[in-house]
A = this chain, B = another copy of it.
Amino acid sequence: MGKLTHDDPEMLAADDPEMLAANEAQFLAAFKEHDYPKPAVTLDLCIFGVQDATLRVLLIRRKGHPFQGRWALPGGFLDVEKGEDIEEGARRELREETRVSDVYLEQLYTFGNATRDPRGYTVTVAWLGLLPIQRMFIQAGDDADDAQWLPVQDMLPHLAFDHATILSVALQRLRGKIDYAPIAFELVPPTFTIPDLREVYAAVKGSTYDPANFRRRFKRMLEDGVIEQAEGTRFTAGRPAKVFRFRRPT
């Protein structure tokens, strides 16, 4: 059992790096020999959008095995040879499979076990993305027959691999985070009305919001400079609505 305290951080610092260099180079050369078994590492993407007051997720229909013809999250193998950072890899996969780029993306969770893919042990780093559907052309890439925005609730039971689990975790994160982080702005076009935003919140959370209280919340954001009013108004069946813009923090 080690001592439990140690109050001299200076003493703890590295040995002189010069001294180590020779040994370390030697070690690194030797290291190549014993090759630990390595898992395949993939990237999976939960990209959410709201359309027709419905929360949707971007899915592809699988062209190849396994799960051929089934709907799945877009994703693919991490390109180790290229040396890409995992976030670069996630953006590359999304681009390749759906021609979508410039997305809000955050890392969600990493799943790794022997059963989630019939091809053997895999580790997948899952990502959560947000996109205003309205402004986006999507297009199936090489590995997919089709790419579509489909309602989360309908699709949850029908996905390939363990993608239902991944999507559930993503949904939980999105629902939890929308209340305290300014991420709803990623789901609407650059200019939007308060009722637009309210629709997004309702679709994400699956509940309704009192229009008056909801509005007051964003009035505070206006005062705090989080959003600003934009030119013009937006016409509806009734009184036209003021238009706002998210001031992306610099």
Which residues of chain B come closer than 8 Å to A36, judged between CB atoms?
40, 77, 80
Residue of B nearest to A27 (CB): B65
Contact partner of A83 (CB less than 8 A), chosen from B15, B52, B89, B121, is B121
Q: How far is the CB of A1 from chain B (nearest CB, A)?
A: 5
A239 within 8 A of B: no
Q: Restricting to A11-35, which residues have a CB under 8 Å from any CB of B?
A: 12-15, 20, 23-24, 27-28, 31
Q: Assess the B80–A12 pair: CB atoms within 8 A.
A: no
Q: Assess the A4–B68 pair: CB atoms within 8 A.
A: no
Q: Restricting to A29-62, which residues have a CB under 8 Å from any CB of B?
A: 31, 36-41, 51-52
Query: Could you tell me the distance between the alpha carbons of A84 and B139 in the complex, rounded to whole angstroms?
Result: 37
Query: Could you tell me the distance between the alpha carbons of A85 and B70 in the complex, rounded to whole angstroms?
Result: 25
A241 within 8 A of B: no
With known contacts A1-B139, A3-B148, A151-B9, A113–B41 Cβ distance under 8 A? no
Q: Restricting to A145-162, which residues have a CB under 8 Å from any CB of B?
A: 146-151, 154-155, 158
Query: Could you tell me the distance between the alpha carbons of A1 and B136 in the complex, rounded to whole angstroms?
Result: 10
Q: Interface residues of A toward B: which range?
A: 35 or more
Convert A59-97 into 0s and 1s, putting 1 for each residue whose CB lies closer than 8 angstroms to a CB of B.
000001111111100000110110111100100000000
A118 within 8 A of B: yes
Q: Assess the B140–A51 pair: CB atoms within 8 A.
A: no
Q: How far is the CB of A92 from chain B (nearest CB, A)?
A: 13
A250 within 8 A of B: no
A137 within 8 A of B: yes
With known contacts A38-B39, A112-B86, A119-B28, A20–B81 Cβ distance under 8 A? no
Name 13 interchain pairs, CB-CB below 8 A, sorted by A. A1-B138, A5-B52, A5-B149, A12-B158, A14-B69, A23-B68, A28-B119, A36-B80, A38-B40, A85-B113, A86-B113, A123-B123, A123-B125
Interface residues of A, Cβ cutoff 8 Å to B: 1-6, 9, 12-15, 20, 23-24, 27-28, 31, 36-41, 51-52, 64-71, 77-78, 80-81, 83-86, 89, 107, 109-114, 118-119, 121, 123, 125, 133, 137-140, 146-151, 154-155, 158
